[in-house]
Amino acid sequence: MNSASASRDPAADDTRLARLAPLAALSPARLAELAAATRSARSARGSDPLAEHGSNEHAVFLLRGEILLFFAGGGSLVVVGGSGDGLHPLNRRQATVVRSKAITDLELLLIDDDALDIAVTWDQVAAGGGAPAGAIREAVRSDARVGSGAFSLENLRHGVFAQLPAARIEELLRRFERVTARRGEMLIREGEEGDWFYVIESGKCQVERMVGGVRVAVAELRSGDTFGEEALVSQAKRNASVTMLADGELLRLAKGDFTQLLAEPLLHRVGWAAACDKVAAGALWLDVRYPSEYQHDRLAGAINVPLSEVRNSFTVLDPGAEYVVYCQSGRRSSAATFLFAQRGFKVWLLEGGLWAAQRAGAR
């Protein structure tokens, strides 16, 4: 009988994790984060632990006990916990494991595959293959604030960097600059040309817009949040001002580097015909223009989320749905598409917006 006790184990402590082969090179800060993505499990002698725990969503490590693995095509292997093959995932082997048998009572550790892969990927890229380590590389690998900063595991999984192709990570780390900002400092000003993209590493900021001649606070941003992307993606002027509410440190990326390394990889463009096919297959139109424009000539079934309200809609829209984003020209929709994409939404950008569709005679 399998005891099947699988639970989160904050005491899947760093020293235990550090002994596992894929994790040996990770910093203590990253190991502490990864511990939150682990579960412990116990299996009784005679059970088949991998039948219960060997899913495609996590890697299974043997911490204590002995297990017999049976491979496709014949052959078997005894693995002892805490040493040798026990330091590698039981269910991630060159030969396919078709069955397992607990020789003794077992203690297992289950680590979320996605979290494990992201942590190892960023750490290895940040190591730089012997290249000189810059401040940003050091922040990724060993900064004590990594658990809550821009490069926390949570942000790497679900934030601005989550959709970044792995091939671009090293260049991104090379081009980011770290800057210190003081309380009260205005980082970007509404109406100015956009020049930088920012990620908050520490501290907090306030976003304000002029409404009827009065400056109105519309959002507060904290560690891991980003700002400045709308103007860079849409090639428009800044639509808000951002001021530091507390001393902090920011990472910034120049406009050209942002477009090359972050914006374009996240903007999946489609023409009118392909967009209509996607909607016919179940995707939703997302109109990011002003409500007055939306009311005048919206596409059938479209949802209206003005660009200025995109950040407030992340918890309202269905993250499991697929969206085709549009505006008049494609400028506002490109900025909105980037914002949604970096939060993990499956979004497509209608190339050229409604104007392009009209020029093609599609509407």
What are the catalytic residues?
A: 327
CA distance 180 to 182: 7
Return all residues near 75 (Cβ < 8 A) that are at least 6 apart. Answer: 95
Two tokens at 296? 């005048």
Phi, psi angle pair for 139, to nearest 5°: -65, -40
CA distance 122 to 48: 34
Two tokens at 44? 């009784």
Phi, psi angle pair for 253, to nearest 5°: -130, 130
Two tokens at 260? 């090359």
Using only C-alpha atoms, the chain has a radius of gyration, in whole angstroms, of 24
CA distance 150 to 122: 13
Phi, psi angle pair for 123, to nearest 5°: -65, -45
> Exposed, middle or buried by CB within 10 Å (0-12, 13-18, 19+), for 165?
exposed
CA distance 321 to 159: 18
Q: Which helix (H) or strand (E) holds 322?
A: strand 322-326
Contacts 24+ apart (CB under 8 A), 355-358: 355/328, 355/329, 355/330, 356/271, 356/272, 356/330, 357/272
CA distance 363 to 359: 8
